[in-house]
């Protein structure tokens, strides 16, 4: 038979142990928010540091180069021995050429893949196609660059004889291939989120599966689809290795897609791997170009956010 004194002693020990556990839990609950806040603060401080560096160095650049000639200049000749010129428009035009071609290639293919995966694909087909898209998204961009230079360009030259070895078409098409998984995956997620009741209601009214996909599912998922396109466009604007390898290094302010071009990212790579002296206008120009690129991507992300919010309210 258990001694009552022993039982009381055991109960007291259990209470003490529970009190200790409660104290530890309270301490942990107080510490965890602080740790999470510090971790979140690191990302915020990193962003602030990057932006501050860009702004500071860009201001230094504009002390040496007039801001109006930078914004509205149509010649980019930073390495000229006579009179260096820093008009950003040729680099912006080169970037927009690549982006335009990429979007024209990626949007139809990406949306078609998303519609198929969401509305037509069987489970077995989805299990095969989704991993393939994920692999395509994981290919290093330098591999895409050599693919554009050594395969796509020769193929295009058989169709367009005047196409130069460095041009806008080849890297633009390959950048389009690179961003297809982003558009397809995000758009497919948006379409899959559409309630099945909407599909079933349209089918009950006599609509075909294609009509349901195009007239019911697509409009209902439009906010997610547009956001995916805008984010993919932002990714194309910031692409570096493909355009550096296959696009060339000739800034041109024209509408020719068959000749050598240079994008903002390609110029940054060129100067960063070159012999630009510290403190020279050429050195500081990479920060000015980088800040311009940052404004482009910031604008695209803001546009994606606004589009998503607006169409969610509409639907």
> In the chain, how many domains are there?
2
Same domain, 229 and 264: yes
Same domain, 157 and 270: yes
Same domain, 176 and 138: yes
Count other Cβ atoms within 10 Å, centred on residue 214.
14
Dist. CA 5–CA 18, nearest whole Å: 20
Dist. CA 147–CA 79, nearest whole Å: 30
CATH code for the domain in which residue 99 is found: 1.10.3720.10
Global pTM exceeds 0.85: no
Same domain, 252 and 158: yes
Is the residue at 76 inside a domain? no
pLDDT the model gives residue 19: 54
Is the residue at 77 inside a domain? no
Same domain, 214 and 304: yes
Q: Which two tokens stand for residue 46?
A: 């990193």
Residues 6 or more apart from 71 whose CB is under 8 A from it?
88
What range defines the domain where residue 99 resides? Answer: 85-311
Q: Which two tokens stand for residue 167?
A: 């041009």
What SS3 state is found at 77?
A: strand
Question: Given its phi and psi angles, is residue 140 left (phi above 0), alpha (psi -120 to 50 degrees) or beta?
Answer: beta
Q: Are 248 and 261 in contact (CB under 8 A)?
A: yes
Dist. CA 270–CA 138, nearest whole Å: 25
Closest CA to 168 of 270, 249, 289: 249
pLDDT the model gives residue 104: 94
Same domain, 237 and 288: yes
Residues 6 or more apart from 244 whose CB is under 8 A from it?
145, 265, 266, 269, 270
Instruction: Kindly state the helix (H) or strand (E) to which residue 140 belongs, with its residue range.
Output: none
Q: Are 107 and 226 in contact (CB under 8 A)?
A: no
| Phi, psi (rounded to 5 degrees) for 307 | -65, -45
Is the residue at 74 inside a domain? no
| Phi, psi (rounded to 5 degrees) for 73 | -70, 145
Give bridge partners of residue 86 from the DSSP assignment: 76
Tens digits of pLDDT across the chain (315 residues): 445 555 555 555 555 555 556 667 777 777 888 888 888 888 888 888 888 888 888 888 888 888 888 888 888 888 877 888 888 899 999 999 999 999 999 999 999 989 888 888 888 888 888 888 888 888 888 999 999 999 999 999 888 888 888 898 999 999 999 999 899 888 888 888 888 888 878 888 887 888 888 888 888 888 888 888 888 888 898 888 899 888 888 888 888 888 888 889 888 888 877 666 777 888 888 899 989 988 888 888 787 777 767 665 555
Same domain, 45 and 152: no
pLDDT the model gives residue 311: 60
Tokens 């912006």 found at: 92
Alpha-carbon Rg for the chain in angstroms: 28
Q: Are 285 and 270 in contact (CB under 8 A)?
A: no
Same domain, 40 and 181: no
Where are the alpha helices (H) located in 63-73, listed in sequence order? 67-72
- H and E: helices and strands count for the chain: 14, 2
Q: Give the number of C-alpha atoms closer than 13 A to the C-alpha of residue 241, restricted to the C-beta side.
A: 10
């Amino acid at each position: 038979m258990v001694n009552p004194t022993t039982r009381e002693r055991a109960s007291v020990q259990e209470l003490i142990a529970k009190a200790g556990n409660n104290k530890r839990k309270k301490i942990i609950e107080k510490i965890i928010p602080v740790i999470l806040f510090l971790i979140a603060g690191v990302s915020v401080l990193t962003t602030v540091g990057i932006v501050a560096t860009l702004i500071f160095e860009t201001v230094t650049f504009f002390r040496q180069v007039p801001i109006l000639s930078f914004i509205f200049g149509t010649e980019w000749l930073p390495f000229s021995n006579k009179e260096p010129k820093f008009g950003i428009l040729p680099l912006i035009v080169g970037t927009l050429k690549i982006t335009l071609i990429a979007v024209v290639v990626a949007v139809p293919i990406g949306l078609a893949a998303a519609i198929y995966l969401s509305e037509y694909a069987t489970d077995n087909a989805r299990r095969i196609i989704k991993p393939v898209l994920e692999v395509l998204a994981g290919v290093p961009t330098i591999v895409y660059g050599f693919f554009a230079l050594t395969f796509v360009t020769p193929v295009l030259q058989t169709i367009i004889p005047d196409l130069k070895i460095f041009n806008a078409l080849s890297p633009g098409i390959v950048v389009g291939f690179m961003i297809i998984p982003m558009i397809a995956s995000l758009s497919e997620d948006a379409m899959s989120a559409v309630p099945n009741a909407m599909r079933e209601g349209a089918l009950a009214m006599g609509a075909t599966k294609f009509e349901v996909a195009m007239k019911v599912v697509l409009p209902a998922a439009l906010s997610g689809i547009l956001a995916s396109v805008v984010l993919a466009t932002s990714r194309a604007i910031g692409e570096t290795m493909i355009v550096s390898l296959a696009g060339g290094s000739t800034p041109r302010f024209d509408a020719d897609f068959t000749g050598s071009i240079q994008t903002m990212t390609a110029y940054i790579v060129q100067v960063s791997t070159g012999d630009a002296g510290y403190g020279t206008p050429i050195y500081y120009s990479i920060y000015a170009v980088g800040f311009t690129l940052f404004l482009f991507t910031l604008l695209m992300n803001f546009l994606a956010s606004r589009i998503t919010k607006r169409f969610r309210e509409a639907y």
